[in-house]
Amino acid sequence: MVLLNIIKSKRFFKLLMKGALRMRKLSIVLAAALCMVGAVAVFADEAVLIDFSLLTADIIEDPLNPGTKTQNRATVMDFSTVAGASYTDEQKKQMLTSLAITNWDVILASSSRTNENQSLSYTREAKVDQNAAKYAGATVLGVRVRFPLEPFNSWAKIVPPFQIPAFEPKATVDDTGKVTPKTDNQGLDPVNARLTRFEGTYNPDTKLTTAFGVVKNVGVIKAVAVDVKGLNFPHGLSVILIDNDGNERVCFMGYLNFDGWRTLRWDNPQYISDVRNRELRIFPIYPRTTPFVKFGGFLITRDAAHEGGDFIAYFKSVRILYDRAVLDPVRDIDDEAIWGIVTTREEARKKLEAERFGANQVLRYIERLKQETKDQFSGN
């Protein structure tokens, strides 16, 4: 009986050892798998959110300044298509705009918004020298801001002339600015075929998307970079990002107290590299739409202790590193084509934007017509 118990004990010990060995192997496999998942999370996609060298004015001559182009073909928007019947045909022509560099607005803090300061705050195309070490021959965004001379805190925003649309379909634009939506995407690779107009283009060689202010399928933003030329001003620079819910995030990039081109970078302090430490959630896919991020503009901050007056800076591009929201954005059923919920929302937003922007454009046009062009009195 004792011998039998010993034999059973030995068999039990062997079985126990085999089970422990299997569990150990399983633990090693699971650990390796988790390490691989964690490693995948470290790598994020990269995209150029906006490149100002692509926003030069190349169509539509200014009637009051012959020889000067006013609009950028790639980003032209015609808000007259959703304008009311109270506008004349001539006024509706003024509702044509684009992301051309000279169309961007500089908004000053209310305490700094005097007539003089506002009139001396604007954007211009800036050509980089052909022999420059960086961005030779490129056209970049030049910004002038007139801050108060008095010693108090102030800020200025450099924003696009309209809120960049996320679902504007691809289109062709003629020399007069007429926008004709494309009916097919023949000749395009699958990735570029599904990109909307302001998502720009995808380069399969560099695997980089260069957008006109909108990047989709954005989960968590890992980092933001700005290519900027400083002129030793001690002011702070921030980037404004807008998500698909309309929420703004202001990312402080650093100070511009340097001379020359530099890449300023913001790293998300809340980004978690190891997925095991992340709070995992499941959200309905439609009609929330694929999460995206828009470029909302730049924010320049001036401290009261620093010198006021004119501020100058130049911007080439804004880039982002981000985790994808979904692995494969291609779906076997086109939800939007069936239900049209997102399109309805976009059309409503576009109409509101047209009412705001269209009215402003018409008022600006009327003011330009009322302006006196002479500088001297008659007989002098």
Paired with 324 in beta bridges are 218
Q: Across residues 278-288, what is the average pLDDT? A: 68
Q: What residue segments make up the domains of the chain, in order of their start? A: 10-42, 46-370
pLDDT range class, residue 274, cuts 50, 70, 90: low
pLDDT range class, residue 158, cuts 50, 70, 90: very high
pLDDT of residue 271: 84
- Least reliable range by pLDDT among 140-154, 219-233, 323-337: 323-337
For residue 194, what are the contacts with CB-CB under 8 A and spacing of at least 6? 329, 330
pLDDT of residue 361: 67
pLDDT of residue 66: 85
Whether residue 209 is predicted with pLDDT greater than 50 in this model: the reply is yes
Whether residue 62 is predicted with pLDDT greater than 90 in this model: the reply is no
Q: Across residues 358-380, what is the average pLDDT? A: 71
Whether residue 39 is predicted with pLDDT greater than 70 in this model: the reply is no
Whether residue 150 is predicted with pLDDT greater than 90 in this model: the reply is yes
Q: Please give the single-letter amino acid code of residue 167.
A: F
CA–CA separation, 211 and 201 (whole Å)? 6
- pLDDT tens per residue, range 161-195: 988 888 888 899 999 888 898 877 666 788 888 88
pLDDT of residue 72: 96
For residue 297, what are the contacts with CB-CB under 8 A and spacing of at least 6? 157, 158, 159, 160, 240
257 versus 347: which is more confidently predicted? 257
Half-sphere exposure in the Cβ direction for 151 (13 Å, CA): 2
Whether residue 11 is predicted with pLDDT greater than 70 in this model: the reply is no
pLDDT range class, residue 289, cuts 50, 70, 90: low
Contact (CB, 8 A) for 264 and 246: no
CA Rg value for the chain: 28
Q: Across residues 27-43, what is the average pLDDT? A: 38
Whether residue 224 is predicted with pLDDT greater than 70 in this model: the reply is yes
pLDDT of residue 329: 59
pLDDT of residue 93: 72
Global pTM?
A: 0.80
Whether residue 279 is predicted with pLDDT greater than 60 in this model: the reply is yes
pLDDT of residue 188: 76
Q: What is the chain's mean pLDDT, rounded? A: 82
pLDDT of residue 283: 66
Q: Which two tokens mark 186?
A: 């023949």
Whether residue 121 is predicted with pLDDT greater than 50 in this model: the reply is yes
Whether residue 269 is predicted with pLDDT greater than 80 in this model: the reply is yes
pLDDT of residue 211: 95
pLDDT of residue 38: 38
Whether residue 356 is predicted with pLDDT greater than 80 in this model: the reply is no
Distance from the Cα of residue 132 to its chain's centroid:
27
Whether residue 28 is predicted with pLDDT greater than 60 in this model: the reply is no
- pLDDT tens per residue, range 72-85: 999 998 877 666 66
Whether residue 375 is predicted with pLDDT greater than 80 in this model: the reply is no
In sequence order, what E strands does the chain have?
A: 45-51, 59-62, 65-71, 77-78, 96-97, 105-108, 122-127, 139-147, 154-159, 171-173, 179-181, 201-203, 208-210, 214-216, 218-231, 236-243, 248-255, 259-267, 292-302, 309-324
